[in-house]
A and B are shown apart, each in its own frame.
Chain A
Amino acid sequence: MTSQRYRSLAKGERARKRKGTWQPRLLRWAGMALIYALLTLGALTMVFPFYWMVTTAFKSIQEALMFPPTLVPTEWLWSNFREAWEAAPFPRYFANTTFMASASTLGTIITTVLAAYAFARMRFFGKTVLFILFMATMMMPFEVILIPNFLIIKTLKWYNTFLALIVPWTASVFGIFLLRQFYLSLPKELFDAAVIDGCSHFRFLWNVAVPLSVPALITVGIFSFLGSWNSLLWPLIVTSNPEMRPIQVGLTAFQSEAGSYYNRMMAAATLAVLPIVAMFLVAQKQFVEGIARTGLKG
């Protein structure tokens, strides 16, 4: 009798549980379905220009100019890549861009480390004012300083040289800001202990601060490399010699030289994007960690 009563109680409990849980579970599933639907929509929107670039690279020119556009090429023309490669001096553009981006990234990392450390750990006259001036330049629309900058480059006789393409990008105020925030977050005790052990500023920077800031340095490096690789307006203004031009300028020149051949232009753009996608995939973990560790805190 007792066991029958317990069985009946347990049955009732199970039924109550079932009745009590199916509604929240359904709501949870509906919520998850909505989240996945929104994420898919967002991801498709994000991917669209990249997808459009890659698929247009395979289309014929008639199909590339068709409205409404086709989402998948009716015929996959691999020859567009060869034709794009041969239509303009792309090997030269690639070499120029790689050299320009690598040199400016290396320069940026060196100057950023030194300046960020100075702003975070040094005490010198006018430090705050100088830092405010630095930060103020971050708000400066580039077009505002374009013409005076061009005149300075002309005066220095750097027109049509790699110096004009590299030197102005070897200082990154954003990078200095990011790294300064990281150096400020290092415990003061770490520095004091190093000083007691006879460590100079340089030893501390080289042996302690720089190894600890590798993710932040990779972040600065990737930002600098991406900025340099994708730069268009500045190289267009400070170079006129095709031998000096980087890949992004090459893309526009290709458009004007070969008419509106979007398919070949997108083939060239796809080739141009591949190295930076590969680089980002390799360094992605460090890159995200770098942003998270500096935290971009004010």
Chain B
Amino acid sequence: MRRLENAFWFTFAVPTVGIVLVLFFAPFLYSAFGSFQSKSGQLTLDNYALVARLYTKDVLYTVGIAAFSLAIVLFIGILLCGYLRVYGNKLVEFLFKIPLFVPFVVVGHAMRVFLAPHGILNSMVAQIGLINLDNPPSLAYSWLGISLALAWKNMAMAVLLILGAFRSVHETYLEAARNFGAGAIRQTLDVLLPMSASSLAVASVLMFTSMLASFSIPLMIGGGKGAQMTMIDVYYRITYQGDYGAANALGVVSYLLASGAAIYYLRTVTRK
């Protein structure tokens, strides 16, 4: 009877399974298979050879930017969420969630205005005499600009996930730490952080993979010269060269990078 009921319930889960398999997994397999095909349809490793020859630098650049942005997000996110968990400040909490609502188109334009050579940031720094606006440095169109924009866009998600993890730590642990004289930073680093380590690892993997796959921000903030993020390469490969094989190979490489970061995550998730 129970087995019958389980089978009945499995049928209820079938629509979800179907959608995921048909619209996520099957296309991925199609892409993966396409990465081993030449334009004439023959099986080949040429696409991967091309990726290794032309895009190794871009792959490293992408991983570097995603890792650097993640480090910024985690550093700020952990300290901020520790403060919010210990003292609470609803206004600050809300302000840090604003990036959730802002459309990518707006983020791209706003970041360009903020980081451009004669943008708001340089204008403010020039006011205190640190730079000369006749020959201003530019954060936009550079790896640092992309990293800062990605960190900005992901900060809201980080605050949600980290604060959620910190809030699931029971108040009694913090009270005990306070009784021993621990301040906000000690409570964050010695109590909240170790007790939320697995949640933070999962959140980090999610943000890292989303940064690896980011497209709109690198397209609007990144310069057209030098190394590019891999999703931009995929876009150019398809749009300007119609080379689906190499584009698919780049996609598979991106997926493998994301999966490499996610091994810990999958292992922890499936342990239960």
Select one of B80, B164, B255 contacting A144, CB under 8 A.
B255
Cα–Cα, bound, A48→B109 (Å): 12
**Complex contact A295–B19 (CB within 8 A):** no
Minimal beta-carbon separation of B154 from chain A (angstroms): 12
Q: Which residues in A have their C-beta under 8 angstroms from that of B156?
A: 46
- Chain A, residues 260-291, CB within 8 Å of chain B (1/0): the string is 00100110010011001100100010011011
**Complex contact B163–A291 (CB within 8 A):** yes
Minimal beta-carbon separation of A294 from chain B (angstroms): 7
Q: What are 26 inter-chain pairs, A to B, with CB distance below 8 A? A: A39-B89, A42-B92, A49-B114, A50-B102, A52-B110, A67-B116, A111-B16, A115-B13, A117-B9, A118-B10, A136-B262, A139-B209, A139-B258, A140-B258, A141-B209, A141-B251, A145-B31, A147-B27, A148-B31, A152-B23, A168-B19, A226-B100, A232-B103, A291-B163, A297-B168, A298-B201
Select one of B114, B198, B201, B206 contacting A48, CB under 8 A.
B114
Closest to A279 in B: B101
Q: Which residues in A have their C-beta under 8 angstroms from that of B94?
A: 284
Does A133 sit at the interface, judged by CB under 8 A? yes
**Complex contact B19–A167 (CB within 8 A):** yes
129-152 of chain A: CB within 8 A of chain B: 130-145, 147-149, 152
Q: Which residues in A have their C-beta under 8 angstroms from that of B91?
A: 43
Report B's interface with A, CB cutoff 8 A.
5-7, 9-10, 12-13, 15-17, 19-28, 30-31, 76, 80, 83, 89, 91-92, 94-107, 109-111, 113-114, 116, 118-120, 122-123, 152, 155-156, 160-161, 163-165, 167-168, 198-199, 201-203, 206, 209, 212-213, 215-216, 231, 234-235, 238, 244, 248, 251-252, 254-255, 258-259, 261-262, 265-266, 268-272
Q: Which residues in A have their C-beta under 8 angstroms from that of B92?
A: 39, 42-43
Q: Which residues in B have their C-beta under 8 angstroms from that of A87?
A: none
**Complex contact A128–B119 (CB within 8 A):** no
Minimal beta-carbon separation of A123 from chain B (angstroms): 6
Minimal beta-carbon separation of A228 from chain B (angstroms): 13
Q: Could you say which of A4-12, A14-22, A74-82, A169-177 contacts chain B?
A: A169-177
**Complex contact A132–B266 (CB within 8 A):** yes
Q: Which residues in A have their C-beta under 8 angstroms from that of B9?
A: 114, 117-118, 122, 124, 201
A50 and B231 in contact, given A138-B206, A143-B215 (Cβ under 8 angstroms): no
Q: Which residues in A have their C-beta under 8 angstroms from that of B118?
A: 67-68
Q: Which residues in B have their C-beta under 8 angstroms from that of A272?
A: 103
**Complex contact B269–A115 (CB within 8 A):** no
**Complex contact B96–A43 (CB within 8 A):** yes
**Complex contact A46–B103 (CB within 8 A):** no
Name the prevailing secondary structure of the A interface residues: helix
Closest to B250 in A: A144
Closest to B24 in A: A137
**Complex contact A141–B104 (CB within 8 A):** no
A280 and B28 in contact, given A45-B152, A130-B17, A177-B269 (Cβ under 8 angstroms): no
Minimal beta-carbon separation of B227 from chain A (angstroms): 18
Cα–Cα, bound, A136→B163 (Å): 25
User: Which of B94, B101, B165 has the most chain A CB atoms closer than 10 A to its own CB?
Assistant: B101
Q: Which residues in B have their C-beta under 8 angstroms from that of A291?
A: 160-161, 163-164, 167
Minimal beta-carbon separation of B204 from chain A (angstroms): 11
**Complex contact B215–A200 (CB within 8 A):** no
Select one of B7, B20, B120, B271 contacting A173, CB under 8 A.
B20
160-191 of chain A: CB within 8 A of chain B: 167-168, 170-171, 173-174, 176-177, 184
Does A248 sit at the interface, judged by CB under 8 A? yes
Minimal beta-carbon separation of B230 from chain A (angstroms): 8
Cα–Cα, bound, A298→B200 (Å): 9
**Complex contact A273–B13 (CB within 8 A):** no
**Complex contact A47–B24 (CB within 8 A):** no
User: Which of A69, A230, A262, A298 has the most chain B CB atoms closer than 10 A to its own CB?
Assistant: A298
Cα–Cα, bound, A291→B161 (Å): 7
**Complex contact A252–B101 (CB within 8 A):** no
**Complex contact A139–B17 (CB within 8 A):** no
Q: Which residues in B have their C-beta under 8 angstroms from that of A200?
A: 5
In the A-B complex, the 10 residue pairs with the smallest Cβ-Cβ separation, listed nearest first, are A298-B268, A291-B164, A141-B213, A148-B27, A144-B251, A49-B110, A145-B27, A292-B167, A295-B168, A171-B19
Q: Which residues in A have their C-beta under 8 angstroms from that of B262?
A: 135-136, 138-139
Cα–Cα, bound, A136→B94 (Å): 32
**Complex contact B31–A69 (CB within 8 A):** no
Cα–Cα, bound, A47→B265 (Å): 32
- Chain A, residues 40-59, CB within 8 Å of chain B (1/0): the string is 00110111111011000000
Cα–Cα, bound, A111→B20 (Å): 11
Cα–Cα, bound, A123→B160 (Å): 32
Minimal beta-carbon separation of B198 from chain A (angstroms): 4
Q: Which residues in A have their C-beta under 8 angstroms from that of B15?
A: 111, 114, 171
User: Which of B89, B105, B202 has the most chain A CB atoms closer than 10 A to its own CB?
Assistant: B105
Does A233 sit at the interface, judged by CB under 8 A? yes
A46 and B99 in contact, given A144-B254, A145-B24, A291-B164 (Cβ under 8 angstroms): yes
